[in-house]
Structure 1
Amino acid sequence: MADPDSNTAAVLYGINDLRVHQWELPKELAAGHVRVQMSNVGICGSDVHYLQHGRIGDFVVDAPMVIGHESSGVVAAVGPGVTRLAVGDRVALEPGAPCWHCKAAREGRYNLDPDIQFFATPPVHGSLASFVDHPAELCYKLPASVTLEEGAMCEPLSVGVHACRRAQVQPGKSVAVLGAGPIGLVVLMCAHAFGADHVVITDVRQSCLDFAAQHYAATTLLTTPQQTPSDLAQQLQHTLAAAAAGADPTPAAATAAGVQPDIVIDCVGVQQTLEAAVRAVAPGGKIVLVGMGSEQLQLPATLLTCKEVDLLGSFRYCNTYPLCISLIASKRVHVAPMITHRFPFSAAGVAEGFDTAARAAQTGAIKVMFDLQQQQQQQEEEEEVREQ
């Protein structure tokens, strides 16, 4: 096992200033914490946004910050009071540590804790490092049937689980997922896993829809940014009717029963998609807004009211990791195909990995993953050579 005294981290200093260098760990492990030797860390869209813009809303990188929050690893040491984890355990790390005392946390909705300490959200350091100290209660042991790469994917998968819980996806329901990026894909998987009768996914990129169809047998709909919300809503209903009837989408099919989705989960969050969701959803249905594409949006409020549509927000997640691990272990979801690119944890590897993620439209990247085990093995081999 690598030496914590030689801990290396990917540290964001500002816009397009990401450096890989030594990063000092605390001398002592805090009570209730474990020290995890990181194995795999994925790149999220928020990581790329911080790199390119130095901020997301009010969260500004004004001091060096370790990046990354989708992660897994192996317990290297346990702090005082830790009893349920031991050295050598393989774990997935839930990145948000709440206070556990505020009203939201006491009610079980700790993702809404205003003081939550979330990896790689300024000023909190992230997990793209050789070692990370983290509360043991937020490190979840992985069964042998779940790889460490899949363990790191529990983080984005959690977003899908939480959104589908908010939407109350269940057998008998039809679901439309707007946006086929990484989050749209995990929502798609979770909607199927939760038992939805029919699921349609949309995107403006044919390549993303091809990926969804190839790996997840998805019913897809190619849209354009120029479409009116009404046109998009009508197309969505036609496609859903065809999926339910097993026929080609035609205007005539729109008269078939169940063409209006019971649930629309918007993973884009722009004017076109949210308005289309209101127009497409069935009366009494639910719309869950996951994507944060635009800060201000207008709604057809009268239509929303007359259809008695429930409009819900979905922010990150809470109480999702055990279910995510179970879904992966039971093969009810398959997250591994989403990992399209892998890079070593080195200065060159980190630079190339972030460039690949930032240019996803050109590279075809869905999820970029760093393999820290490869670096650790190389270091151990070099150490053995020096000792000979």
Structure 2
Amino acid sequence: MRSRSGAIDWRAQKRKAGLMKSLVLERKDALSLRDFPEISRAEEALGPRDVRVKLHTVGICGSDVHYYTHGRIGPFVVNAPMILGHEASGTVIEVGAEVTTLKEGDRVCMEPGIPDPNSRATRLGMYNVDPAVRFWATPPVHGILRPTCVHPEAFTYKLPDNVSFAEAAMVEPLAVGVHAATKARVKPGDVAVVMGAGPIGLVTALSALAAGCARVYVSDLSDAKLEIAASLSQAITPVNIRSENLVETVQRETDGWGADIVFEATGSPQAAAQVFEPLAPGGCVVMIGGQPDPISYDAGAAMVREARVENIFRYAHVFPRCVGMLASGAIDVKPLITRTFSFDDSVHAFEVAASAPAGDVKMQIELPQ
């Protein structure tokens, strides 16, 4: 909403934001776009170190879709209506009395997991594994497919002018890839394999290259997704495992040595059982894809390689790095954004996302401004 001078009227935006029309997962397979007064009441108060953000763009994550289609992810069960969405960007419309780094009108992205600052995990720097973390759109915490949210200043990041709202809403999935590359301890010239060409697999490939990998092999079953992978960089080699043998390809092109790093980003038990096959001696496997059940683990294959195995859970300390790489052009996520829906079409957007179109990587929803 703009004044007669053309400037955005933030006070009018705040009044308008009181109508909390939200995308609500009522129960498994049932979505609605409706007012959610409980959120309106809960977010009336703004803490001294909080900001109020008018949401602009929200990405549809695989976890959002999984809650929609299955009603649960592991121990997290949707027992009551829950607002979806956690990959977001927007504009600050109000700041708390003690906020110093942000002001009204700042364009921002937000880290969706808020830990207990006094927990042992947080004090050790591992705030992402704090058992008390409150993560958007993880039951019973509501997500942000709604007009506004209140968020701590410490987990809200100002955007450079050359980073769009759409790119900023990609910072959350990109953070997973950057965290994975960090845990892998990529060295300049490393060769990596990324199993899976979904959104997380592709941001992991981009992150591995930005960290210094000379070559990244991306495997998948979808030609359409592999075409997108190949378009991201000349240093990415797509491998369709329907017609090519991943291990033979990597062995042939590394003189029989193998890949220095293997990133498992499919969440498939079959793929996870094969993570050591393309790995070089002394290499590292990074487990990214969530596994709902225990998986097969070839301890012998790991042992003879003296393989190092890392596991990641979301991310920590990487949001500013992601924003910086988007701003500098070190990573370009724009090719991954394949479809955008209006907020009024949110239910349809999730129906499309649940159908898993082969040519789509990241779908986003734009909220009215």
2:277 is aligned with 1:236: no
Provide, for residues 42-64 of structure 1, a one-character-per-residue CA deviation record: whole Å limited to 9, x for no partner.
00000001011111111011111
Does structure 1 conserve the Cα–Cα contact (< 8 Å) formed by 2:54 and 2:91? yes
Secondary structure of 1:88's aligned partner:
coil
Q: Counterpart in 1 of 2:260?
A: 262
CA distance in 2, matches of 1:215, 1:233: 22
State yes or no: 1:357 paired with 2:353: yes
Counterpart in the other structure of 2:9: none
Structure 2 segments unaligned to the other structure (5+ residues): 2-12
* Paired position in structure 2 for 1:369: 364
1:221 maps to 2:217: no
Q: Which residue of 2 aligns with 1:22?
A: 35
Map 1:112-151 → 2, pairs under 5 A: 112-151=129-168
Q: Deviations over 1:50-99 (max 9, x none)?
A: 01111111101111111100000000111232121111010001000000
1:317 is displaced (CA, Å) by 0.3
**CA distance in 2 between partners of 1:170 and 1:152 (Å):** 28
What is the TM-score when the length of structure 1 is the normalising length? 0.87
The answer for the alignment partner of 2:190 in structure 1 is 173
Q: Cα deviations across residues 320-358 of structure 1 (Å, max 9, x unaligned)? A: 110000110011111111111111111xx1022112211
Looking at structure 2, the residues matched to 301 and 215 of structure 1 have their Cα atoms a distance apart, in angstroms, of 34
CA distance in structure 2 between the aligned counterparts of 1:301 and 1:212, rounded to whole angstroms: 31
Q: Is the 8 A contact 1:178 1:264 kept in 2?
A: yes
Q: What letter is aligned with 1:236? A: V
**How do 1:38-187 residues align onto structure 2 when only pairs under 5 Å count?**
38-187=55-204
Q: How far apart, in 1, do the equivalents of 2:250 and 2:111 lie?
A: 35
Q: How does 1:174-213 map to 2 (within 5 A)?
A: 174-213=191-230
Which structure 1 residue ranges, 5 or more long, are not aligned?
242-255, 377-388
Amino acid at match of 2:164: T
Question: Post-superposition shift, 1:124?
Answer: 0.4
2:239 alignment partner AA: L
Secondary structure, in 3 states, of the residue corresponding to 1:276?
coil
- Whichever residue aligns with residue 309 of structure 2, its letter is L
Q: CA RMSD in A?
A: 1.6
CA distance in 2: counterparts of 1:197 and 1:151, whole angstroms: 27
How far, CA to CA, are the matches of 1:319 and 1:57 in structure 2? 25
Task: Report the secondary structure of 1:30's partner residue.
Answer: coil
Is 1:324 the counterpart of 2:355? The answer is no
Residue type at the aligned position of 1:323: R
Are residues 1:285 and 2:283 paired? yes
- Determine the structure 2 residue equivalent to 1:9: 22
SS in 2 for 1:333: coil
Whether the aligned pair in 1 keeps the contact of 2:23 and 2:347 (CA below 8 Å) is no
Question: For residues 71 and 330 of structure 1, what CA distance do their matches in structure 2 show?
Answer: 20
Identity of aligned residues (%): 40
Per-residue Cα deviation, 1:86-122 (whole angstroms, up to 9, x for no partner): 1101000100000021121111111100110000000
Looking at structure 1, the residues matched to 186 and 353 of structure 2 have their Cα atoms a distance apart, in angstroms, of: 31
Question: Mapping of 1:266-345 within 5 angstroms?
Answer: 266-345=264-343
Q: For 2:52 and 2:103, locate their aligned partners in 1 and report how far apart those are by CA, in whole Å.
A: 10
Q: Using the TM superposition, give the Cα deviation of residue 188 of structure 1 relative to its aligned residue in structure 2, in angstroms.
A: 0.6
The answer to whether the Cα contact below 8 Å between 1:48 and 1:357 also exists between their aligned partners in 2 is yes
Q: Is the 8 Å Cα contact of residues 225 and 360 (structure 2) preserved in structure 1?
A: no
CA 1:277–1:339 in 2, change beyond 3 Å: closer, same or farther? Answer: same
Deviation digits for residues 288-314 of structure 1 (CA, Å, limit 9, x no counterpart): 000124521122212211211011111
Aligned partner letter, 1:223: I
How far residue 197 of structure 1 moved from its aligned partner, in angstroms, is 1.5
Write out per-residue CA displacement over residues 239-295 of structure 1, whole angstroms, 9 at most, x where no aligned residue. Answer: x43xxxxxxxxxxxxxx26x4101100101334323322122111110000012452
Letter in 2 for 1:315: F
Q: How many residues align?
A: 351
| 1:6 positional shift | 1.9
- Aligned residue in 2 for 1:382: none
Paired residue type of 1:235: T
TM-score by length of 2: 0.91
CA contact (8 A) 2:88 2:168 kept: yes
Query: Whole-Å Cα distance in 1 between the matches of residues 336 and 111 of structure 2?
Result: 19
Is the contact made by 2:339 and 2:363 (CA closer than 8 Å) also made in structure 1?
yes
